[in-house]
Structure 1
Amino acid sequence: MAGLNISELVELALALVAVGGIAGFLAGVFGIGGGAVLVPVLYECFRLVGVPLEVRMPLCIGTSLAIIIPTSVRSYRAHRARGSVDMEVLKQWALPVIVGVIIGSVVARYAPERLFKIVFVVVAWSAAARLLFGRETWRLGAELPKGLLMKFYGTVVGLLSTLMGIGGGLFSNLLMTFYGRSIHQSVATSSGLAVLISIPGAIGYIYAGWPAASRFPEVAALQVPFAFGYVSLIGALLVMPTSLLVAPLGVRVAHAMSKRTLETAFGFYLLTMGARFLIALVYA
């Protein structure tokens, strides 16, 4: 694997296991599925094993979507058990979100690698600005809209989440707070969206990555063993167990934090993750 020895491979494996715990915790705390943590760390891991730059970012995103499937399901069940999930919002967004995921998967098949980083930076920093500097008076309305606008929001959430490898919490949290919903209810409802996005999203990245196997045989062979399209099974299997174990702890922490503390923590986290990919864009 690109010159890595056994000790370096063990270090990478241990790092992925640790990242699974962090991702699971954040899935519970922020309702984000953990993908915003997984994508930057997977990027470094795949860089170390020599995955070509042209496919590295989509491989990270597809693997992230596969990893957050079980984490999202567990986080959603924990939030729903507390009665904090708005099921009506989930029903309205279900079909539009899936449509957005399908569009995102098609885009991922043909888009240049830099597009994924640009989307990550712009959206993460926009959300961070709202969370860190926003005021209660910053509202799009008193209630979430109905009809076509709500469907449009759902489609955009599905599309951008698929291009970032996250569970949709980043966008749905932002939208719901702009319409007067509490951060706690927004986080809880977002955990349900993560389930709707991660499953078809992972399947879409398997589809999107098949052409890469012919252009870059090393992706499916030496550098990323057991890769299906843009999903690395090795990466997924190492991260999933600790993600599942730690997600309920994150849910408990979220419900113990004040509204402002939760918003500030989420904002600084997004600011940091966006900076990581801005650096990657500049020095790629």
Structure 2
Amino acid sequence: MGDVYSTQFLIAFVIGLLATGAIAGVLAGLLGVGGGIVIVPVLFLLSGFFGFPAELAMPMAVGTSLATIIPTSISSARSHHKRGSMDVDLLKIWAPFVFFGALMGGVLANFVSGAFLTLLFGVIALAVAVNLALPKTIVVAESLPGGVLARTTVPTGVGVFSALMGIGGGTLSVPILTAFSYPVHRAIGTAAALGLVIAVPAVCGFIWAGWGVEGRPPWSFGFVNVPAAVLIFAMSVFTAPVGSKLAHAMDAGPLKRVFALFLFVTSIRMLWQALG
């Protein structure tokens, strides 16, 4: 085990998780991207330092990230709701389908490999990075599609892919909503609530998928590591409202571009590992 498990390293590990939680909470409230888009890559990298099998690194990162999204999304959603930036009507329409999609994603975790999850995260994270880096939001239409098929398949897809990636709903739903001329602040506020709808069924699925799997770190329930989740959301639950406040008070453009660069580098590294 050597120096990897030394006291100094464990202290650095704890500090790193607390910092990750703080940053993830701010980004969840500020950009609506979902803290998981930060948490998953960090946990994936830390797993390598601890020598966990590559096949376990990604599902553990995804499952643990989903667990942190539950308290973070509650905190962020409450803050946005107080500011009137949550579309309750849209939430009522999308929530059942997002929930069903997230449940499907959690169940699918039992049948897909860690390499597939790494590849999926890398591809979507790369797309998100490009979207964040664009100077202007891509607009597809002047309003959300009204057909039954679009109103069911889009939120279901958001649920499935968000669950498999370990992210909140904002990473996918905010770009989709703004592409249909939806006000960005209302998109972010609504996405914050969708994070909870995604995380609860998805966490159950990842716990079930990882139950009894050998080689998991101590204090894990399935693919959810409890100490790591607690350390992260101990910070993110407090910083999410800060991000929400900043979203209404500042131009997030420069921060978006920096975060896009981080995502780009991370996604390329994950794709390299998944395809290498």
State TM-score, norm by structure 2. Answer: 0.91
Q: Point out where structure 2 has 5 or more consecutive residues left out of the alignment.
A: none
Cα pair distance change 1:262/1:83, threshold 3 Å: farther
Taking the aligned partners of 2:184 and 2:256, their CA distance within structure 1 comes to 7
Cα pair distance change 1:133/1:25, threshold 3 Å: closer
Q: Does 1:236 align with 2:229?
A: yes
Q: Which amino acid aligns with 2:104?
A: I
Aligned residues: 274
Q: Point out where structure 1 has 5 or more consecutive residues left out of the alignment.
A: none
Cα pair distance change 1:125/1:76, threshold 3 Å: same
- Per-residue CA deviation, residues 183-234 of structure 1 (Å, 9 max, x unaligned), is 22221111111111111111111011115x2xx2x31xxxx11100000001
Q: How does 1:129-278 map to 2 (within 5 A)?
A: 129-133=130-134, 135=136, 138-146=138-146, 147-211=148-212, 213=213, 216=214, 218-219=215-216, 224-258=217-251, 260=253, 264=257, 267-278=260-271
Q: Is the 8 A contact 1:31 1:75 kept in 2?
A: no
Q: How does 1:111-126 map to 2 (within 5 A)?
A: 111-126=112-127
Report percent identity of matched pairs.
37
State TM-score, norm by structure 1. Answer: 0.89
Q: Which amino acid aligns with 2:143?
A: E
Taking the aligned partners of 2:99 and 2:113, their CA distance within structure 1 comes to 23
Residue matched to 1:74: 75
- Per-residue CA deviation, residues 151-194 of structure 1 (Å, 9 max, x unaligned), is 10011000000111000111101110110012222211111111
Q: How does 1:86-97 map to 2 (within 5 A)?
A: 86-97=87-98
- Per-residue CA deviation, residues 224-270 of structure 1 (Å, 9 max, x unaligned), is 11100000001111111111121111111111233755754564454
- Per-residue CA deviation, residues 131-170 of structure 1 (Å, 9 max, x unaligned), is 433756x433221123221110011000000111000111
Q: Which amino acid aligns with 1:58?
A: P
Cα pair distance change 1:4/1:57, threshold 3 Å: same
Cα pair distance change 1:20/1:262, threshold 3 Å: closer
